[in-house]
Amino acid sequence: MILLDRVTKVYKKDGKPALNRISLHIEPNEFVILVGTSGAGKSTLLKLLTREEKPTSGKIVVGGIDYDTLKDKHIPLLRRKIGTVFQDFKLLPQRTVFENVAFALEIAGMTNKEIRTTVPKVIELVGLTGKEDQFPHQLSGGERQRVAIARAVVRQPKILIADEPTGNLDPKHSWDIVKLLEKINRYGTTVLLTTHNAEIVNKLKRRVITIDHGKIVSDQAQGSYRQ
């Protein structure tokens, strides 16, 4: 599903590598937690997976797509296979919950009929039925993140990247979001979660990959994390 073979990323000539010969394999339907201090290389890795950045060297294959031969015109197709959720939600403030989720389908060219059928199912999945007509400013932080997750999974991506999705949330809402990610994983989506929250990592007992100074220093099947 996700394969990196000796991937290096250097942003400046003669600069230190942000990633240094990283090799990594993530199976379909896995739930993997990526940890490391700020500047360790986590964000660079995610940007390589979504093709926001290109590796300096090494090979990347995601969902059967070899990035070496990936043409720019096919990048939107790749990104439909990868849903992304961020710490700061990135919702459209002038659009309702329904409209925020529907926006991802509008971009993909789905018909209004398909949108009317699909969006309510995803809103139900994330536990926001009854809030369809509310705007982001009317929602709690946890609810806003649920909208962001709904928008990320509405196109049924094979992979969901959750980049610090609990960073702006209190402990209760953080756990609600983590449980939702586990639910989405059970439906067959590969989940890649980055977090600084050691409690979440240690309670989940999932595979934990630790990055430090651009290198993978630990890869544990049921890992733990100390900040």
Reported residue count of the chain is 227
Beta-strand pair 190-194/159-163: parallel
pLDDT, position 225: 73
pLDDT of res. 77: 84
Query: Which tokens in the block code for residue 108?
Result: 């993909």
Res 227 pLDDT > 70: no
Determine how many CB atoms are found less than 10 A away from the CB of residue 176: 18
**Domains (ranges, CATH) in the chain?**
1-81+157-222 (3.40.50.300), 91-156 (no CATH)
The whole-number pLDDT of residue 39 equals 87
Mean pLDDT of the chain: 93
pTM, two decimals, is: 0.93
Side by side, the strands of the sheet bearing 82-85 are 82-85, 159-163, 190-194, 31-35, 207-212, 215-220
**pLDDT (tens digit, 9 = 90+) per residue, 69-97?**
999 999 988 888 899 999 889 999 999 99
Tokens of 29: 């339907």
Dist CA 55 CA 7 (whole Å): 6
Of 77 and 48, which is predicted with more confidence?
48
Task: Say what the pLDDT of residue 108 is.
Answer: 85
pLDDT tens-digit series, residues 151-188: 999 999 999 999 999 988 998 899 999 999 999 999 99
- Tell me if 192 sits within 8 A of 159, measured CB to CB: yes
Residue in the structure block whose two tokens are 């369809």: 132
**What's the pLDDT score for residue 136?**
97
Q: What is the pLDDT of residues 138-154, one digit of tens each?
A: 999 999 999 999 999 99
Predicted local confidence at residue 204, as pLDDT: 92
Give the pLDDT score at 13. Answer: 72
Say whether pLDDT at 12 is over 90.
no
Question: Who wins on pLDDT, 192 or 13?
Answer: 192
Distances (CA, A) of 71 to 50, 54, 66, 178: 13, 12, 10, 34
